[in-house]
Chains A and B, each alone.
Chain A
Amino acid sequence: MSGFSPNPDQNFGVRIQEALGNEELRESFHGAMTFLREKRRQQFPDPDALDALRTRGAAIRERALAQLPDLLEQLEGQCQHNGIRVHWAEDAAEANEIITGIARKTGGKRVVKGKSMATEEIGLNTAFENAGFSCLESDMGEYIVQQAHETPSHIIMPAIHRNKASIARQFAEQIPDTPYTEDVDELIGIGRRVLRRAFADADIGISGVNFAIAETGTLCLVENEGNGRMSTTVPDTHIAVMGIEKVIEKLSDLPDLYRLLTRSATGQPITTYLNLISGPRKPDEIDGPRQVHLVLLDNGRSRIYADRQLRETLRCIRCGACMNHCPVYERLGGHAYGTVYPGPIGQVVMPQLLGLDKAGKLTQACSLNGACGEACPVKIPLPDLIRRLRHDGVSRTDSPVRGQGKQRKWIEATIWATWLSIHTHPRLYRLSTLMATRLRRLMPPLPRAWTRHRSPLRPAARTLHETLQQRERARQKESAREQ
């Protein structure tokens, strides 16, 4: 994976400390998240209408998932009927092999890519480099990030962690004959000039897929810039990569999901382009790719699918609203997670993809405040799923998630077992609270990890029961005197 860790748990704490100490990053994310939340809020003025739309979105996705194997076969049949070649990939390695194989057969060398999280997931850029191709990201944000040898920090706005001054410096240093400018229109103009050349010269275009319609064999791409249209229209070969969960049943399922996606993601009523691709160039047509390929990527999804609760993860339409509303993501930014999908959806998806032994710690970066679940346009119960994965991380269950029980620590387990026992045995409870209050001076100070950012705690001199009893006695005495 290009820059993403296969073991994000490693040094997660270090990355968190670094992110929290980085003022530029904190400022960028705070500004961007506040902006995106406010824009989304304006798009959904009526809470009842929003809830009805989210319920419909969830139902459309659930209906598709209920028929997933059949819809995938129908999609394959319809695509083939339309002249789109369909490939199936079990994992990242097989997907990369298929894609580089197709690219090699074209005889071309130059690849342009539209924004796609599925290709980030499989580390396609690295696979292309290793196979001797140059693969240029064409989304403005992705282009900036790739040029700086970074990874995206948000699934919708990849360069959200950067400010215009640092982008201006980067362009002036890395693009020949480019003066330093902080004017955003000029910066975009510079990107446009470079990338136009790349589109015109490219042999192969890569894209993701926002929705694939089984009924018609259609690939839907949602975007504002036009780089997705360029990548899927100008090169002779177009290869689309999608997770198998992205299929929907019918053309009439599209409007509600599209409306939810654009409003939840960037608070736009609509994007500039909704691009529906149903086949390569026909013999009498003038332009468009001569071949279109669709790669269906499993990469752990069919395993998730077997578990009724975890299956809800697969409803995701990748809008990023859960990140925009997460107070932890807002403070850490996307890079601290070290994963392709950061934020709440990442905390749910990554442990399922990589295993709880490698990504289980991610689920701890959550205060269970529930904001993500309330923002999700398809009502994925993200807080419930985070709790479920925390549970799987410390217990042995029949969960299909790998690495279960690997987050278990004996000291934590012992503390909780003791806690459970005290709170389910009244006598033990009374005894322990009595001890805690009477012997409070003997209590050792809390670990520094706790007290560094919080005031130190001391048990009260009396238990809550005693305090309340005392108060009650005083009240009775008072009322007896009045009579």
Chain B
Amino acid sequence: MSSKNAILSRLRHGRAASPANTAAFAAERASDAVTPDLDIMVSALEAAHARVFRSTTSQWADDLAKLARERGWANWWIGGDDVGRTWQAHDSEPATTVFSNWDSQKAPLFDAAEVALCRARAGIAETGTLVVESSPQVPRTLSLVPPVHVVVIDEDSVVGSLHQALARYENKSLPTNLIFISGPSKTADIQQTLAYGAHGPRELIVYLCRRE
């Protein structure tokens, strides 16, 4: 008998020998709907050490260009999403790499990239969470490897709770990698002292945009 069959047959025998108490399941409730509160979203993100700027769908690129000059960021990475294209077309654009080939671009991504820019498909107000879907336009490592991660998100894509964010995927196939991001990478593994930039981005910068 294969290991699979042996394990499954033991479980089925065990279940028949002592069936579960199904009364316990009644304690569950249906998923809760919460009205998204953008102020809560901003304060939750800031509490997690992210920087949040309120902007608009037509204004964020100008705002970001200003911040980029102030900070002197030179090595930008984008994917193929709308945010990347807008940034690329922006006239004050610094040197920007379009991330399109893993094998040839892995080394510079790890060694030289300073800032990555991408769109969050949705947000969760309650916990200050950004929902980033992997796709051919948004590679998985874009939101992970460069030390600064800039996220653009539309206000009207923000939902109240994780329940509601996951409900968007009911009866649909999930992206290969669905990532919920709530702040820069961090650790408290040394004497419970919080330090940012453990392995992922040290800084998370969010442009929360009102649609115009």
Contacts and interface: CB of A to CB of B under 8 A. Distances in A.
Contact of B141 (A233, A273, A276): A233
Contacts of B184: 272
Contacts of B198: 140, 188, 191-192, 224-227
Interface in A40-79: 55-56, 58-60, 62-63, 65-66, 68-69, 72-73, 76
Contacts of B3: 88-90, 94, 298
Nearest to B201: A226
A96 to B, nearest CB: 13
Interface residues of B, number: 80
Contacts of A311: 14, 18
Q: Is the interface of A mostly helix, strand, loop or mixed?
A: helix
Given A62-B21, A286-B99, A311-B18, A274 B10 contact: no
Contacts of B185: 224-226, 272-273
Interface string A210-228: 0000001010000011110
Given A66-B15, A272-B200, A284-B136, A184 B191 contact: yes
Contacts of A288: 134, 139-140, 176-177
A476 interface: no
B27 A58 contact: yes
A308 interface: yes
Interface in A167-199: 167, 184-185, 187-189, 191-192, 195-196, 199
A373 B13 CA distance: 29
B127 A269 contact: yes
A266 interface: yes
A224 B135 contact: no
Interface string A294-311: 001010001101111001
Contacts of A132: none
A73 B179 CA distance: 26
B174 interface: yes
A225 B25 contact: no
Nearest to B172: A216
Contact of A200 (B18, B22, B107): B107
B163 interface: yes
Max chain B Cβ within 10 angstroms of own Cβ: one of A139, A162, A200, A285: A285
B112 interface: no
Given A140-B198, A192-B199, A200-B106, A252 B10 contact: no
Interface string B101-124: 110001100100000000000000
B189 A163 contact: no
B71 interface: no
B199 A266 contact: no
B186 A225 contact: yes
Nearest to A213: B174
A93 to B, nearest CB: 11
A273 B189 contact: no
A167 B180 contact: no
Given A229-B200, A305-B15, A311-B18, A59 B28 contact: yes
Contacts of A167: 190
Contacts of B176: 82, 277-282, 285, 288
A218 B187 CA distance: 25
A58 B24 contact: yes
A330 to B, nearest CB: 14
Contact of A196 (B2, B14, B199): B199
Given A58-B27, A216-B174, A271 B199 contact: no
A254 B166 contact: yes
Contacts of A192: 197-199
Contacts of A242: none
A271 B27 CA distance: 26
Nearest to A200: B110
Contact of B29 (A56, A184, A199, A277): A56
A116 to B, nearest CB: 15
A164 B174 contact: no
Interface in B138-196: 139-141, 144, 161-163, 166-167, 169-170, 173-193, 195-196
A279 B133 CA distance: 13
B16 to A, nearest CB: 9
A139 B28 contact: no
Nearest to B79: A286
A287 B139 contact: yes
A159 interface: yes
B8 to A, nearest CB: 5
A90 B6 contact: yes
Nearest to B186: A224
Nearest to B29: A56
Given A196-B199, A270-B129, A272-B200, A140 B190 contact: yes
B170 to A, nearest CB: 7
A35 interface: yes
Contact of A164 (B136, B173, B190): B190
A244 interface: yes
A252 B102 contact: no
Contact of A69 (B2, B11, B22): B11
A285 B80 CA distance: 11
A76 B178 CA distance: 20
A385 interface: no
Interface in B1-59: 2-4, 6-8, 10-15, 17-22, 24-29, 31, 44, 48
B169 A251 contact: yes
A216 B168 CA distance: 14
Nearest to A73: B8
A122 B108 CA distance: 37
14 contacts: A59-B28, A164-B190, A184-B190, A184-B193, A188-B195, A200-B110, A218-B174, A224-B185, A226-B200, A230-B199, A270-B128, A275-B180, A307-B14, A308-B18
Given A141-B187, A141-B190, A305-B10, 4 more contacts: A144-B189, A157-B189, A259-B162, A288-B176
